[in-house]
Amino acid sequence: MSYRCCEGVPGLKFSRRYFLKQGGVAMVGLSAMPAFLQRAVAATPMPNKKQLVVLFQRGAADGLNIVVPFGESNYYRMRPTIAIPQPKRGGADAAVDLDGFFGLHPSLAPLEPLFHKNQLAIVHAAGSPDATRSHFDAQDFMESGTPGLKSTEDGWLNRALEAVPEEDASPFRAVAMGPNLPRMLHGAAPAIALPDLKQFKVMAQAPGTGQIVEGGFEAMYSQTVDHALHGTGTETFEAIDLLRKADPAKYQPENGAQYPTSRLGQSLQQIGQLLKADIGVEVLFVDCGGWDNHVNEGGVQGQLSNLLKDLGQGLAAFHQDMGDRMENVVFVTMSEFGRTAKENGNRGTDHGHANCMFVMGGDVKGGAVYGKWPGLNDHQLNEGRDLALTTDFRSVVGEILVRHIGVRDLNPVFPGFDNNSRKFLGLIKA
Amino acid sequence: MRLQESPASQVNQRIPTISATPRSFLAVILSFACVLSLGIELPASAANPASAKDKKPKNDPALKGLPITELSPDEAILHALNRLAYGPRPGEVERIRQMGLAKWVEQQLNPNSIDDRALDARLADYPTLRMSTAKLIDEYPQPKPAEKQAEKRAQAQAQQEQRRSDAAAEKVARDVQGTQGPVAGGGDGEAVQQNTANAKQEMSDAPALMKQEQPEGNPATKGVGKRDVLGGADPNNVPRAIADDSKRPQRVVAELGMAKVTRAIYSERQLQQVMDDFWFNHFNVFAGKGEDRYYITSYERDVIQPHAFGKFKDLVTATAKSPAMLFYLDNFLSADPRAAQRQAAERAARQQWRRGRFGWPAPPRPVGNPQAKKNERGLNENYGRELMELHTLGVDGGYTQKDVTEVARCFTGWTIEKPRQYADFKFDDRLHDPDAKYVLGKKIHAGGMKDGEQVIDLLVHHPSTARFISTKLARRFVSDNPPPALINRMVETFQSSDGDIKSVLHIMIWSPEFWSRESYRAKIKTPFELVVSAVRALGTDVDTPLPLVQWVGRIGEPLYQCQPPTGYSDKADAWVNTGALLNRLNYSLALAGNKMRGARTDVASLLGVDSSADPKAALDRAVQVFLGGQAGPTTVETLEKQLDNPQVLQAKLDDAHKQVDLGVVAGLVLGAPEFQRH
């Protein structure tokens, strides 16, 4: 990983790894470096590395009530009790107007300024083309990146990392916020599951033995002749060390950002901390659940509304917290499929097909709802019941990977898919 | 205890100071025996093969009858315990030495010859294990009161909202130029009714499906954050909701996990437990998928366990008929796409006959009714594909996509009766595709259930299956890259014994490759193997295994929660990653430090109380007990340096800290690279 500031110097490669081995982020060992490097290091390092955050809403979020097509009269006929009313002047219990046809669920009001400042784009009628309505199959397909194929063992996000190879990559290059690595990050490229920033360390059980055990393990693994474990062991302790020295937990939310206290809110805050700590994070994954509202999804009020309050506040806080750093970050949301256009008899909806995706960030051409809108009349529905699909999620993510992250060839990332860039929606600045 | 080292490194001889109690006397004898017979045994990648030649078994009676030439007797016994069992318990190596290794192996291959009543007593804590699926569904139902409440609330609000949205719809219709056609009169009502019916059916799915979002199987009590569910910041605590006897559906899967851990630790029929795990993983089913949470208990007890050492064909057939597999791979939904048509035609014919008697014409069926289309079942290829790709032939076994479809057609009709009540296997002929099929070039047209049975027969006798299964077994028991000669031998036996699993295991164990230096300590322990082997090594007394179950998940192998049908990997690279390794270390510290709720570890008596007088002696003892005395030179050296720490030396003066020191020492050894291998 090189800093652009040093690229002009022939024959010199400044690597983060080198820096850490000399003693971490602290200003130790600078005397060994040429003077201009010391100056560069002393200034706040702003790597021009691009970052991607993926938020997976597990359970099939109801896209039609999240980004409301209030211009469709059939929407109101199909959802007599849970439809979101059309925007009214100054009305808090109605859709927040985006472009005269689509509106946000009122609980997502904090995202409206982002939309109108062109930082947030929406893609509607997007998702996976596979017809399955099984949660776990559909999540599997959306994470493996090969809808319909169950034999794929790795995830598209991991393959994307492989597509942009990095020598001396930070152990935190790919991070999943949670106790397990998601399918999306399974694969050859290393990735870390971080349930809690504060708990990524050796946890001595007996008081006062912390140093002994950490030192003992670190020494054993760095010296062992066991090749496979040596590599991982060394990385583990480097990661622990790096995290401890960078101390991401010390970063407080900036610019007045206030994260919700929910699990999602805390995860987003920790993502912010990780990004600020400049430890080489490039790709982050976070998921949230509870979206499977067969019963009592509700309209303006209800289960969905509560989830959206959390999501809206969280995303807005993250954006605020990041400030200028948002230039380098693209944040994308996805869900395994959408929900039925018609409500069921329990103020809820059932498993559907196409959904909406949010794409937020400095590189995003926000302020628009992308994708071809298929309409909600009966004959326009998928299998007579769902929002039809017009944009494959791989086109959306593919564009982000190519234009924001810098992946050159998408074919290994999404094998079997037409990765031609003319299918891109044009929502990322070239 | 460290022994002869390569000349390059420091040589340190140490005699442990152990008081002369009978047990420690025995320990001394053992220690010296080890000094004499063992050298430095490094894993395969080590650079010191010279000392290997010094340890010829020399016709040791303990090894009689087995083709062991490269390992010493203690190594061989350890190897057997590590591969055919979940690692040694204190004193076990000696017990087997007395008995004779071949005899022990033969017993393990015949599990019914082994008395396991002690284990049965422990399993009495888990009543769900003995219950039928019907009873489980009945006694551990989805919470009903919540549903009723939700319904009431929904109805109350519905009317109010109805008025509001009617107004909204009218407004839109007025605002937007009317291009939207009128919705068919009866269509809406029908749609709502259908949706209600579906919603009712799927309502009980809803909580189940929501549980999938927490694949570790933690109870998703509303409003409780994940942190709370894990018992606060302390990973060694367990949530009361699962720990107690409340009859919630989560308890069923929780008991499965607890029983599995208990069996692996305490069963005398160790190879049975290993094979159960192997076959469950091979025929993987995911507990997080809907009704499977109720089906897996019977699956494990009635399908996997009874056939683990029998004929492979019987095992495949049993899984093919199991509600667990039928549900997991969707075959219970699979139907001949023309079945609906056939049934409709029959119905129409019946109606025609009835009405015709009275001269009334039959009402026309609505054309293009979207709801009818939705209810039509079609062919589901999921099981057909996985049966070949994952269960029998293997992904390169020589089948095509066409074969997948044909196999799926053969299995139409293999379904579940009353999936939400008693979930029995049922063959429904109405759903079955009656036409001829061609699988792997062979015509299948026996009719009814025989089509599927013939396919199973065809697949299990295919040479690719013999190879696929033999390779998988060899990978599990010998090494990540098993020698071709061994696999060939196993393939031959598989075929000549008509797929007899015990025979294949026998030939594998009686092969020199099984006991080769290359395969010794060649494999990385899976999370389950690590957790269980550590408990066995420490002689820990476990009365609530749930924290252990959760650790297995944390280290990367949540039990019964493997989503894809491929099951958990059996190769090192799946388990060796940064986060997982850290969790392994923290697990060892917690267990050895006696901080694991529901488990009691007494390292002091295990290592000999006086060992705590000298941390280095304790270290030697720990290496002796947990690593069979075989640790790389760097491991012990580096640990010794750490133990030189004044904090440790100071602490030993205080009695209250005695336990702690040993826990730290034991924890360090259990977290060592050597203990990650088996």
Q: How large is the ipTM?
A: 0.73
Burial A350-370 (b: 16+ CB within 10 A, else e): bbbbbbbbbbbbbbbbbbbbb
Which range marks the domain in which residue B472 is found? 329-359+376-478
Q: Which of B68-77, B219-228, B432-441 has the lowest mean pLDDT?
A: B219-228
Determine phi and psi for B235, rounding to 5 degrees.
-70, -5
CB of A296 closer than 8 Å to CB of A344: no
Alpha-carbon distance of B269 to B519, in angstroms, equals 23
Q: Of A37, A196, A10, whose CA–CA distance to B586 is shortest?
A: A196
Among chain A residues, CA nearest to B635: A220
Alpha-carbon distance of B535 to B265, in angstroms, equals 7
Interchain contact, A59 vs B209, CB within 8 Å: yes
**For position B146, what pLDDT does the model report?**
56
Q: Which tens digits make up the pLDDT trace of B411-424?
A: 999 999 999 999 99
For residue B33, is pLDDT > 90? no
A 91-130 residues with CB below 8 A of B? none
Q: What is the mean pLDDT of residues B627-637?
A: 85
- Looking at the partner chain, which of B210, B582, B648 has a beta carbon nearest the beta carbon of A200? B582
Fold of A49-199+248-423: Alkaline Phosphatase, subunit A (3.40.720)
For residue B371, is pLDDT > 90? no
Cβ-in-10-Å burial (0-12, 13-18, 19+) of B655 comes to exposed
Q: Which amino acid is at A199?
A: Q
Beta bridge partners of residue B523, listed in sequence order: none
CB of B31 closer than 8 Å to CB of B16: yes
Domain annotation covers residue B16? no
Q: Of B637, B622, B628, whose CA–CA distance to B671 is shortest?
A: B622
Q: Where is mean pLDDT largest: A227-241, B25-39, B351-365, B490-504?
A: B490-504
Domain annotation covers residue B45? no
**For position B239, what pLDDT does the model report?**
53
A 40-69 residues with CB below 8 A of B? 58-59
For residue B53, is pLDDT > 50? no
A219 touches chain B (CB under 8 A): yes
**For position B609, what pLDDT does the model report?**
58
Q: Which of B252-266, B322-336, B369-383 has the lowest mean pLDDT?
A: B369-383
Domain annotation covers residue B487? no
Q: Which tens digits make up the pLDDT trace of A3-30?
A: 333 333 343 333 333 333 333 333 333 3
Alpha-carbon distance of B150 to B154, in angstroms, equals 6
Q: What is the mean pLDDT of residues B127-142?
A: 94
Chain A residues closer than 8 Å to B382 by CB: 150
For residue B362, is pLDDT > 70? no
A76 touches chain B (CB under 8 A): yes
**What is the tally of structural domains in chain B?**
1
Q: Which tens digits make up the pLDDT trace of B306-319?
A: 999 999 999 999 99
For residue B518, is pLDDT > 60? yes
**For position B661, what pLDDT does the model report?**
72
**For position B230, what pLDDT does the model report?**
33
Q: What is the mean pLDDT of residues B236-243?
A: 52
Among chain A residues, CA nearest to B159: A81
A296 touches chain B (CB under 8 A): yes
Q: What is the mean pLDDT of residues B11-17?
A: 40
Q: What is the mean pLDDT of residues B78-87?
A: 97
Q: Which tens digits make up the pLDDT trace of B396-408?
A: 899 988 999 999 9
pLDDT class for B273, splitting at 50, 70, 90?
A: very high
**For position A225, what pLDDT does the model report?**
84
Chain A residues closer than 8 Å to B188 by CB: 77
Interchain contact, A151 vs B209, CB within 8 Å: no
Q: Where is mean pLDDT largest: A11-15, A91-95, A143-147, B555-559?
A: A143-147
**For position A4, what pLDDT does the model report?**
35
| Delimiting residues of CATH 3.40.720.10 domain(s) in chain A | 49-199+248-423
Alpha-carbon distance of B540 to B591, in angstroms, equals 8
For residue A107, is pLDDT > 70? yes
pLDDT class for B354, splitting at 50, 70, 90?
A: confident
Q: What percent of chain B has pLDDT over 90?
A: 53
**For position A106, what pLDDT does the model report?**
96
Cβ-in-10-Å burial (0-12, 13-18, 19+) of A60 comes to buried
* Length of chain B (residues): 678
**For position A7, what pLDDT does the model report?**
35
**For position B69, what pLDDT does the model report?**
94
pLDDT class for A38, splitting at 50, 70, 90?
A: very low
For residue B669, is pLDDT > 60? yes
Interchain contact, B585 vs A205, CB within 8 Å: no
**Pairing state of beta strands A355-361 and A103-104?**
unpaired
CB of A226 closer than 8 Å to CB of B673: yes
Domain annotation covers residue B635? no
CA geometry: angle A252, A257, A263, nearest 5 deg: 75
**For position B179, what pLDDT does the model report?**
43
Q: Please give the residue that has the higher pLDDT: either A132 or B435.
A: B435
Q: Which tens digits make up the pLDDT trace of A275-319?
A: 999 999 999 999 998 898 877 899 999 999 999 999 999 999 999
Interchain contact, B657 vs A151, CB within 8 Å: no
Q: Of B446, B115, B200, B168, whose CA–CA distance to A68 is shortest?
A: B168
Mean pLDDT of chain B: 79
**For position A147, what pLDDT does the model report?**
95
Q: What is the mean pLDDT of residues B601-621?
A: 77
pLDDT class for B359, splitting at 50, 70, 90?
A: low
Q: Which tens digits make up the pLDDT trace of A214-264?
A: 989 999 999 888 888 998 898 889 889 899 898 888 899 999 999 999 999
Interchain contact, A134 vs B330, CB within 8 Å: yes
Residue B600 is encoded by which pair of tokens? 């009691």
For residue B148, is pLDDT > 80? no
A74 touches chain B (CB under 8 A): yes
Alpha-carbon distance of B570 to B480, in angstroms, equals 8
**For position B395, what pLDDT does the model report?**
84
CB of B161 closer than 8 Å to CB of A82: yes
For residue B50, is pLDDT > 50? no
**For position A235, what pLDDT does the model report?**
85
B214 touches chain A (CB under 8 A): yes
**For position A56, what pLDDT does the model report?**
97
Q: Which of A52-56, B492-496, B633-637, B671-675 has the lowest mean pLDDT?
A: B633-637
Alpha-carbon distance of B660 to A112, in angstroms, equals 57
Domain annotation covers residue B388? yes
Q: Which tens digits make up the pLDDT trace of B279-312?
A: 999 999 999 888 999 999 999 999 999 999 999 9
Q: What is the mean pLDDT of residues B476-491?
A: 97
B586 touches chain A (CB under 8 A): yes
Interchain contact, B566 vs A179, CB within 8 Å: no
CB of B219 closer than 8 Å to CB of A311: no
For residue B48, is pLDDT > 80? no
pTM of the model: 0.75
pLDDT class for B466, splitting at 50, 70, 90?
A: very high
The region, left, alpha or beta by phi > 0 then psi within -120 to 50, assigned to residue A391 is beta
Q: Of B118, B80, B87, whose CA–CA distance to B102 is shortest?
A: B80
Chain A residues closer than 8 Å to B673 by CB: 220-221, 224, 226, 229-230, 233
- DSSP 3-state of B212: coil
